[in-house]
Amino acid sequence: MLIGLQIRDVVLIEALDLSIGPGLTALTGETGAGKSIILDALGLATGARGDAGLVRRGAAQAVATAAFAPTPDHHVWDILEEKGLAYARDEDLVLRRTLSADGRSRAFVNDQATGVGVLKELGEALLEVHGQHETVGLLDARTHRPLLDGYGELRVPLGEAAVAWSAWREARGRVEALRADVARSAAEIEELTFRLSELDRLDPREGEETELAEQRAILGAAEKALADIGAARDTFDGLGAKVASAIRALERARDRAVTAGAAADGPAVSRLAAAAEALDRVLVEAGEAEAAIDSAAQAFDFEPDRLEKAEERLFDLRGLARKLSVAVEALPALRVQFAERLRAVESAEGALKRAEAEAAAARAAYLAAADALSRVRRAAGARLAEAVMAELAPLKLDKARFRVAVEPLGEDRAGPAGLDRVAFEISTNPGAPFGDLGAIASGGELARFALALKAALAGRGTGPQPLMIFDEVDQGVGGAVADAVGLRLKRLASAAQVLVVTHSPQVAARAEAHWRIAKAGDAERVRTVVEILSPADREEEIARMLAGAQITDAARAAARALMDA
């Protein structure tokens, strides 16, 4: 809903601040008073084309600001999200446009600089203009299908078609991916087989590089270590025999001393015995040391070509790792990956056939859902056409015929909303062919037709209604037809916000709010002013519209009757 419009220096308006309420608001005034300026300013704020001629003479720039209060579920918030603009769903949405006298233009959304195209996109979501020179909204065939679906309350079949479409699209994606796999499978199989054979030949193990590096270091030092161990072993050669000979000599010396009369426990004999015991211990420990040296030699006693084999193995592992651009530690895992990929590629043909069968089933399900949606669309289109036709005669469009064309599209244009092209078409005279809504030549007829269509669509689940602006929708009609226009505008305004620029007292009398647009000033300086009319002022204005310059009591009575109707 539009809640405020602020205008600065636009044509004849110096400064104007308007608060707009819900329901139907009528704008009246003499021709040339400036009613269109207000609509031009609103258009400027919502992205319409800006011309330097809109800037008031003598002013540096024109500024138009429109404040809206969209519902929290309005899709305008999604547009702001898409454009990366800050917003809060519980706050107002303010669109502002400045236009310099040299034609330069700037656009703002909630005081954030943006492009005029963004204002235009937001404006299209927030308001519709139906007037003498243009009808924005209904003439766009892209809106017809959503309007028909809302009117027919087709949410369930639409949802089923969307789900089926998503499943079909995913199935086709899998088929395309597998076809690409199959197309490159021959070359890939050859490459994978070769790489896998290299890895199988080497049979790399986890942690093998570290193990081989340590082994190579040990083996490289083994030769010198064995030489040192041999030198140590040579030191012990003959040591055992010498120690044994020394022990026997000490034993003989002890025996002689005893034979010569020395006491067996005397100091000389005891010392000889202690020396023999010490040598005996040396003999035992020398044997243990010799055994330990032999054991150490065995630890360094490798096969003669073991170092060469370890170095060759390490070289092969590192060379293959470089070729495959991975670390040596990753080779075992890469071998598993290659094997799995080879199995997948080799089985791609079978997987492709299964995926194609699934895609065919998904396609059939989608086509069935789209066909069901088309049937209920055509039925809803027939009901909408009947409802619109019922609205045309009272609006002096009794010669016109209206239909909703629901035509099939090719599968290449399939989408979540089905396979239908929906278009609102009209024939303006008996025997004339049906054409799009732009075929209506008269601006007044086009605006009245838009009113008939909106009246038929009202309250039938077509989503949040935008602000609707009808510019002189009553041009060229009066009496009962003008009254019919007013009644339908009033009915529309019960569920939406409607602004109508009118010269018809029957239309103005139906409004909840009434603005009178007039010119003020002198010959040198003229400006447009807007008066918000009280009930008494409304009666006088409607009487003026009935009687002209000379307002009579009869005109006032007729005005009261219209307002009370």
Residue 229 binned pLDDT confidence (cut-offs 50, 70, 90): confident
> What is the per-residue pLDDT for 356?
94
> What is the per-residue pLDDT for 24?
94
Q: Residue 69: is its pLDDT beyond 90? A: yes
> What is the per-residue pLDDT for 459?
66
> What is the per-residue pLDDT for 516?
93
Apex 443 CA angle, 440 and 445, nearest 5: 60
Domain ranges of the chain: 190-345
| Total-model pTM | 0.65
Q: Residue 302: is its pLDDT beyond 70? A: no
Helices 535-547 and 553-564 sit at what angle, rounded to 10 degrees?
Answer: 120
Residue 435 binned pLDDT confidence (cut-offs 50, 70, 90): confident
> What is the per-residue pLDDT for 65?
97
> What is the per-residue pLDDT for 111?
93
Residues 42/471, Cβ–Cβ less than 8 Å = no
How do residues 354-408 score in pLDDT, each as one tens digit? 999 999 999 999 999 999 999 999 999 999 999 999 999 898 888 889 999 999 9
Q: Residue 104: is its pLDDT beyond 70? A: yes
HSE at residue 410, side-chain half, CA atoms within 13 A, is 1
What burial letters (b/e) apply to 161-170, b meaning 16+ CB within 10 Å? bbebbebbee
248-272 average pLDDT score: 77
Cα end-to-end distance, the chain, whole Å: 27
Q: Residue 339: is its pLDDT beyond 70? A: yes
Which residue has better confidence, 142 or 513? 513
> What is the per-residue pLDDT for 404?
95
Residue 81 binned pLDDT confidence (cut-offs 50, 70, 90): very high
Ranges 30-39, 202-211, 314-323, 414-423, most confident = 414-423
Out of 33-42, 45-54, 185-194, 321-330, pick the least confident: 185-194
Q: Which amino acid is at 547?
A: A
> What is the per-residue pLDDT for 300?
65
| Phi, psi (deg, nearest 5) at residue 90 | -100, 10
Q: Is 428 helix (H, G, I), strand (E, B) or coil?
A: coil
% of the chain beyond a pLDDT of 70: 92
